[in-house]
Amino acid sequence: QVQLVESGGGLVQAGGSLRLSCAASGSTFSLYTIGWYRQAPGTQRELVASIIISSSTINYADSVKGRFSISRDNAKNTVALQMNSLKPDDTAVYYCNAVTLTPFGFRNTYWGQGTQVTVSS
């Protein structure tokens, strides 16, 4: 089991910045990926950015490339999402996501409670 607790988020004007943080606890030794998804009203949840733990490979959604940056603090088991040049289209609930891999190759997915990001025009 992995527990994810998010912090950050809030209301910001377009062009501004916000930083989200997620603290992971529990079976973090089995983490395969950790990252952020978002969901705007009436839309499906979509990947924002993620890190493959073993290779430190980072993936970003095309819509956030060059504006958002994901980073991980291994010692503290936290992952942060620095969001710059925010746009109204970035308004959504942001969820921390973690995927673990069992020795038998099974994947388990965990979600944080979500944090609201609102960008005003």
Distance CA 18, CA 13 (A): 10
The pLDDT-based confidence of 25 (bands split at 50, 70, 90) is very high
pLDDT digits (tens, 9 = 90+) for 75-114: 888 999 999 999 999 999 999 999 999 889 899 999 999 9
pLDDT at 75: 85
Percent of the chain scoring above 70 in pLDDT: 100
- Is residue 71 predicted with pLDDT exceeding 90? yes
Length of the chain: 121
CA distance 48 to 25: 22
Phi, psi angle pair for 15, to nearest 5°:
95, -10
